[in-house]
Amino acid sequence: MAFARAVKCYGEWAMGNSTKLAPDALGLGLRTPHYAHIFEYWPDLGYFEIISENFLGASPVPRQKLHRVRERYPVVLHGVGMNLLGHAPLDERYLDDLARLADEIDAPFVTDHLCWTGSHGTTHHDLLPTPYVPELVEFAAERAHGVQRRLGRPFGLENLSSYVQFQASTMTEWDFYSAVVRESGCWFMLDINNIYVSSENHDFNPEQYLKAIDFSRVLQVHLAGHTREPNGTIVDTHDQPVCEEVWRLYQSAWRMGGPFPTLLEWDDRIPPMPVALCELGEAIAARS
Amino acid sequence: MSAPLWLADFQAQFAAVLRTPLDRSTGTLRAATIGYPPALCDNARPRGALGGDACLAVYNRQYWFRMFGVMANAFPLSARLVGHWTFNAWTMQFLSENPPRGWDVDQVADGFEAWLGHAFSAPEIPLDKNGVTLERAALLQAARVDGAWRSVFLAPAEAPYRPSPVEANVLMTSRLQLSRGVELIAEDWPLLDLRHQLAEDTGETRIPLPPRLADPCFWAMVRGPSAIGRLALQPREAQLFALLREWPLPEALARLERACPESERDGLPANAHAWLMRSVALGFWSGIVPSNQ
């Protein structure tokens, strides 16, 4: 019950606070090559998403640019370094810095990945999978709940794209993911491309994955491109346009549970801003 | 709540996979799955024609290619002077000895400049089997240029030091502290120019070291409001700034004067005054440190 109350409270906060992120908003990942275009043309866009860690360092330069962007757009935080499923305790200083940054830019919500990123004092700078088992649900949910409470705003968990599954798993990824979100009182940060990538790599039906999602608790949806390696593995590279299959999956998701804010990520071979905006505009067509 | 007991062991095995250096023996970078922990390989489900170890190899390659990118981005001049093939091998060696810690990817390259200095002691560094070499001094200067740029970019904001009249006495017994947003560079090759030229160049092949300069050049690398700039320093000016970081002002000036030939001494007071004024105006200094510290 306490979780349910928290969910309602955080949900209202996310969609109704001063930043006014529309339920069907379209957003783009804020990347350095686009700054010049943004500051000259201020494109019509619902919001930007930043990689949290890029703005947590001591250098004031990224922060200054972020504040210029924030003057015109809502900005949400997306992390890659929380290490939620790491065996070691969460980094308290990191969480403090993250909370401060979220407050500083009045972020409607914060997201990170349902994965681990480091172990035994070292960091791997990658989003790594684990076996999916019930005892890990409890562990992850308790941590995620604590993070959301500490941040004082909705905290969304993103599903991974993965290239390996483990014999030790006793749950499907979507059951694991849904259970962690449900038990924690947190939210889905649903990456449609990741569902597609994993479905191709592990031979499951991506529609089945979508059916397991409670769309009333989807904070945001991510779209991105990927690359197929010579051995057939699809890798989540974020260096291509969104492929047809992912657009179709997005369309299914929209029919099942839209509206939801939708964000395009492009992290490598980043095209000029107008090209990225054009690609994002495809989402409108896919919704109809 | 504590993590399940098996999790730490699982993650230690996975980390061992990630850090397994890629095999370079065939002229391409390949995952060497033979060294992966057998228990984790058994746990990884085969997928189609791929065994569990081949599935894990995706992460192994991904880890190293991400690190290659991070390191080449942090040390772009050094990487191009030796070529990415060689630089990536050094990256594997450096990060195997100094694995990344903390969430900040910008810290991955910390310590690389010093590592290079220790890793190569001969005056010429062999770069390939055909006898191509690079002068160690040139590589270390290139790494210093790259390291300085990183350091200036990543430095926290600091208020510039503006000495007040009441501090006059303290200033006479204190050293000046260089702002973290400023680095002083000396170069015997035109390396800053070369680094600037490489800014838009995404190539990975080795580039030739330009001819040695007739005389060394001195620069201050300074973080401005929108970009990192560089300011040419006169040799004596650079010497003064170096002395000011070591000694209180009177001692630094005395040492500078002693180092000057007779022909420069007449103009030295006026020059030193102008250099100091400019350095203060441009925010070179962030404070003072008592000389006994």
| Residue of A116, A143, A141 lying closest to A131 (CA atoms) | A116
Q: In terms of CA atoms, which chain A residue is nearest residue B2?
A: A139
Question: B223 to chain A: which residues are within 8 Å by CB?
Answer: 61
How buried is A27 (Cβ within 10 angstroms: 0-12 exposed, 13-18 middle, 19+ buried)? buried
B35–chain A nearest CA distance, Å: 18
Q: What is the mean pLDDT of chain A?
A: 93
Tell which of B103, B179, B200 to mutate to test the A interface (max A CBs under 10 Å). Answer: B103
Contact B11 A125 (CB under 8 A): no
What residue of A is the nearest CA neighbor of B64? A124
Q: Would the CB atoms of A120 and B12 count as touching at under 8 Å? A: yes
Pairing of strands B124-126, A234-235: unpaired
Question: pLDDT, tens digit, for every residue of A216-257?
Answer: 999 999 999 999 999 889 999 999 999 999 999 999 999 999
Contact check, Cβ <8 Å, B62/A126: yes
Residues of chain A found within 8 Å of residue B157, distances taken between Cβ atoms: 60
Spatial neighbors of B202 by CB under 8 A, at least 6 apart, are none
Q: What is the largest CA-CA distance in chain A?
A: 53
The interface pTM score, or ipTM, of the predicted complex is 0.93
**Overall residue count recorded for chain B in this entry:** 293
Q: Write out chain B's pLDDT in tens, 293 residues.
A: 889 999 999 999 999 999 999 999 999 999 999 999 999 999 999 998 899 999 999 999 999 999 999 999 999 999 999 999 999 999 999 999 999 999 999 999 999 999 999 999 999 999 988 889 999 999 999 999 999 999 999 999 999 998 888 777 888 889 999 999 999 999 999 999 999 999 888 899 999 999 999 999 999 999 987 789 999 999 999 999 999 999 999 999 999 999 999 999 999 999 999 999 999 999 999 999 887 76
Query: What are the φ/ψ torsions at residue A205 (nearest 5 degrees)?
Result: -85, 115
Q: Give the Cα separation of A228 and A245 in Å (integer).
A: 14
A124 vs B12: CB contact, 8 Å cut-off?
A: no
Residue B59 to residue A163, Cβ atoms within 8 A: yes
Sequence-ordered alpha helix ranges (H) in chain B: 5-19, 38-43, 52-74, 76-82, 84-97, 112-119, 136-154, 168-172, 191-197, 235-246, 249-259, 262-265, 268-281
Q: Do A164 and B56 make contact, defined as CB atoms within 8 angstroms?
A: yes
Query: Are A61 and B58 an interchain contact pair (Cβ–Cβ within 8 Å)?
Result: no
Give mean pLDDT in consecutive 10-residue pieces for chain A, a chain of 288 residues.
46 52 96 96 97 94 95 98 97 97 97 98 97 97 98 98 97 98 98 97 97 97 95 92 97 97 95 96 92
**Considering only CB atoms, which chain A residues are within 8 Å of B5?**
none
**pLDDT, position A19:** 52
Cα angle A2, A8, A14; round to 5: 130
Please name which of A226, A229, A218 lies closest in space to residue A269, comparing C-alpha atoms. A226
Q: Do B99 and A122 touch (CB under 8 A)?
A: yes
Copy the structure tokens of residue B51.
């065994």
* CB distance A173 to A167 below 8 Å: no
pTM tops 0.90, yes or no: yes
Give the pLDDT score at B3: 94
Distance CA A120, CA B186 (A): 40
Phi, psi angle pair for A228, to nearest 5°: -100, 125
What distance in Å separates the CA atoms of residue B49 and residue B72, rounded to the nearest whole number?
Answer: 34
CA dihedral for A103, A106, A109, A115, sign (positive or negative): negative
Out of A81, A136, A165, the one facing B4 most closely (by C-beta) is: A136
Kindly state the tokens that stand for A152: 């004082």
In this structure, the strands spanning A218-223 and A262-264 are: parallel
The answer to whether the CB of A129 falls within 8 A of the CB of A84 is no
Token digits of residue A46: 């619902």
Measured between alpha carbons, how far is A17 from B268 in angstroms, rounded to an integer? 63
Closest-approach residue (CA) in chain A for B225: A61
DSSP A206-237: HHHHHHT--GGGEEEEEE---EE-TTS-EE--
Nearest to A221 by CA among A243, A247, A200, A245: A247
Nearest Cβ partner for A87 among B8, B18, B223: B8
What is the pLDDT at residue A147?
Answer: 98
User: What is the C-alpha to C-alpha distance for residues A83 and A76, in angstroms, rounded to an integer?
Assistant: 19
Distance from CA of A212 to the nearest CA of B (A): 23
CA distance B163 to B176: 10
In one-letter notation, the amino acid at residue A287 is: R
Half-sphere exposure of B116 (CA within 13 A, CB side): 29
Q: Output the six-digit token pair for A235.
A: 């890798």
| Test mutation, B2, B5, B6, B7, chain A, max A CBs within 10 A | B7
* Contact: B58, A164; criterion CB under 8 Å: yes
- pLDDT, residue A2, reads 43
CA–CA separation, A182 and A184 (whole Å)? 6
Q: Which of A182, A178, A256, A264 is nearest to A220 (CA)?
A: A264
What DSSP character marks residue A148? H
Tell me the sheet residues that pair with B288: B176
Number of C-beta neighbours around residue A284 at 10 A: 11
Tell me which chain B residues have a C-beta less than 8 angstroms from the C-beta of A172.
none
Q: Cα A15 vs. chain centroid, distance in angstroms? A: 17
Mutate to test the interface with B, among A61, A77, A229, A268 (most CBs of B within 10 A): A61
Residues of B whose CB is below 8 A from A61: 153, 223
Contact A86 B154 (CB under 8 A): no
SS3 call for B73: helix
Q: Which residues of chain A are within 8 Å of residue B47 when distances are taken between CB atoms?
A: 164-165, 201-203
Q: How far apart are CA B61 and CA B92, in angstroms?
A: 12
For residue A5, what pLDDT is reported? 44
Instruction: Determine how many CB atoms are found less than 10 A away from the CB of residue A277.
Output: 19
Taking CB atoms and an 8 Å cut-off, how many pairs form between chains A and B?
A: 131
d(Cα A250, Cα A287) in Å, to the nearest integer? 8
Distance CA A154, CA A16 (A): 12
Chain A hits for B43, Cβ within 8 Å: 131, 166-168
